[in-house]
Amino acid sequence: MNPSDRRRAFKAAVLALALLLAGPATAVANGRDRGPFARALDRIVNARAGPPGLSVLIQRGGLTEFHRRGYANVRTRRRPEPTHHMRIASVAKAYSGAVTLSLVSDGRLSVDDTIGMRLPGVLPLADAVTLGQALQHTAGLPDYIRSPELIEVVMQDPARYLSPLELLGYVRDDPLEFPPGTRYSYSDTDNIVAGLMAEAVAGGSSYEQLLAREIYHPLGLSDTSLPRTVQMPRPYLHGYNVEPGRPPEDVSEVINPSGAWASGGIVSTPVDVARFFRAYVRGRFFDRATRRRQFRFRTGSSSPPGPGRNASGLGLFRYRTRCGTVYGHTGSFPGYRVFAASSANGRRSVVFSVNAQIVPEAGSARVSNMIRRAQLLAVCRALR
C-alpha cells in the first residue's frame, strides 16, 4: 500500500472509530443449509460494500454449529475458523463487567462507590458518578472517543500506545452530559472508569492481571488477551475497510487497541468468547445478590444495536427477540463487528462476527440491517 492509500485507510478507520467506540466437536456449514438463516448470511457477504467474510458460532448444550461465508484473508482466500483471533471491540465491556462485579461480590468494591472515592482527581467534575452508573451507561460521562484532540492524535500516529489516564484526560474538564442516573447514554468513557476503579482496589494488580486472574485462568481462555500494540496473534480474522467500488483494505493492524482498553481492546476467538459468555451470563463470577443487581435492566441500546429489543444492565445487555431472550454485548472497531450472547442458564450461545466495521453511523445502514436480521436468526437457531 503506498503512503497516500495507507493514509486514506488510516483516516477511514479512525473516522469509523470516532463514530462509535467497542468445547464440543464443531459442525462447519458452508452453504449446504439453504434455509432463511443461510440465505441471510449469503446476502451479507454478497451485498455491495458488504464484509469480505463472516462467522457464526452457535452452541446448544452439547451441539455446536459453525457457519462461515467469504474470507478471513482476501489475499490468501483463507476461510474463517472458530479459532481465528479477532478484535472483539465493545464486547470487551462485558469482561470489564465481570472483573468489577467479581470485586463487588468479594466486598472489595461496591456498585455505589463513586469516582471521587476511588479515583480522586481523575475526573473532578464527575466525582459523584458511581460504578453502577458507569456500568449501565447512565453516568453522563462525555465520550472520550469523540474528542477532536484524540482523533487528531490517532490520525497522526495510529499505532501509538495511549494509557487509560491519557484517554480520560481528553474529557477531564468536560462537564457531565446530564445528572448521573437520570438518563441512558452509551459512552466508552464509562468502562475506562470501571477498569481504573477495579485497579484501585486490586492491591497493585493491573487490569490485565485482573482479567487473567478472574476470567482467563478460571475458564481456560488461552486465546484471549488485552494487547498494547497493533500486532494481532496468529492466526487471525483480518479486518477490512470496505467502500463501494474499491477493493477491501486491510486495517487489522493499523490502530492500537490501547485506545479502547477496558472499553474495547480485547482480542479473542469465537470459541473463547462463547465460553466466556456462557459463564458470565449464568453468574459464574459473582454471587446471586450481585447477579440480581446486574439484571436490573433499563431501556438502552448497545452500540451497534443488537437483535430484538435492547435493554441495559450492569456490563450486560438484554436482547428480547421473537424467539426468546439472550444476554450479551455488541461491538465494533475498524475492521470488525461482533455480537455475542448467551441464554440466562448459559446453555445456549451465539458469537456472530463480520470482518468489517459496518454500522449505520458510518453510512452502512442497509448492510448493517442485514447483519442485525441475521443475528436475530442466529439467536432463533440457538434457542429453538
Q: Determine the Cα–Cα distance for residues 324 and 383; give it in Å rounded to an integer.
A: 7
Q: What is the pLDDT of residue 364?
A: 82
SS3 assignment, position 353: strand
SS3 assignment, position 342: strand
Q: Determine the Cα–Cα distance for residues 119 and 193; give it in Å rounded to an integer.
A: 8
Residues making up the chain, counted from first to last: 384
Contact 351, 273 (CB under 8 A): yes
Q: Who has greater pLDDT, 360 or 39? A: 39
Q: Who has greater pLDDT, 56 or 15? A: 56
**Residue written as cell 474463517?**
80
Q: Tell me: cis bond preceding 304? Omega within 30 of 0 counts.
A: yes
Which set of grid coordinates corresponds to residue 52? 469480505
Contact 240, 356 (CB under 8 A): yes
The model's pLDDT over 291-340, given as tens digits with 9 standing for 90+, comes to 999 999 999 999 999 999 999 999 999 999 999 999 999 999 999 999 99
Q: What is the pLDDT of residue 24?
A: 36
Q: What is the pLDDT of residue 263?
A: 98
Q: Determine the Cα–Cα distance for residues 269 and 11; give it in Å rounded to an integer.
A: 27
Alpha helices in 201-310 (DSSP H): 207-211, 217-219, 270-281, 288-294
Q: Concatenate the DSSP letters of all residues of 135-158 into one string.
A: HHT-S-PPPGGG-HHHHHHHHH-T
Q: How many helices (H) and strands (E) does the chain have?
A: 13, 13
* Res. 28 pLDDT band, cuts 50 70 90: low
Q: Who has greater pLDDT, 272 or 34? A: 272
Q: Determine the Cα–Cα distance for residues 167 and 131; give it in Å rounded to an integer.
A: 18
Q: What is the pLDDT of residue 360?
A: 80
Average pLDDT over residues 114-124: 98
Q: What is the pLDDT of residue 15?
A: 44
> Which helix (H) or strand (E) segment is 55 a member of?
strand 53-60
How much is the pTM? 0.92
Contact 291, 285 (CB under 8 A): no
SS3 assignment, position 359: coil
Minimum mean pLDDT range among 22-26, 170-174, 177-181, 356-360: 22-26
The b-or-e profile of 216-246 (16+ CB within 10 A means b, else e) is beebebebbbbbeebebeeebbbbbbbeeee
For residue 379, the one-letter residue type is V
**Residue written as cell 442497509?**
366
Nearest to 28 by CA among 84, 86, 92, 75: 84
For residue 106, the one-letter residue type is D
* Res. 32 pLDDT band, cuts 50 70 90: low
- The rounded mean pLDDT for the chain is 93
Q: What is the pLDDT of residue 29?
A: 56
Sign of the dihedral defined by the CA atoms of residues 356, 361, 367, 371, in that order: positive
For residue 82, the one-letter residue type is P
Radius of gyration of the chain (CA): 19
Instruction: List Cβ neighbours of 265 (8 Å cut-off, separation of 6 or more).
Output: 92, 226, 227, 257, 258, 259
Average pLDDT over residues 350-356: 98
**341 pLDDT higher than 70:** yes
Name the strands in the sheet holding 336-342, side by side, starting at the edge strand that comes first in the sequence: 26-29, 63-70, 53-60, 348-354, 336-342, 324-333, 317-321, 309-312, 298-299
User: Tell me, which fold does domain 3-383 have in CATH?
Assistant: Beta-lactamase (3.40.710)
Q: What is the pLDDT of residue 34?
A: 75
Which set of grid coordinates corresponds to residue 54? 463472516
Q: Which residues pair with 63 in a beta bridge?
A: 60
DSSP letter for 223, please: T
**363 pLDDT higher than 90:** no
* Res. 26 pLDDT band, cuts 50 70 90: very low
DSSP letter for 231, please: P
DSSP letter for 233, please: P
Q: How, if at all, do strands 240-241 and 63-70 pair?
A: unpaired
Average pLDDT over residues 2-14: 48
The model's pLDDT over 35-53, given as tens digits with 9 standing for 90+, comes to 999 999 999 999 999 999 9
**Residue written as cell 494481532?**
232
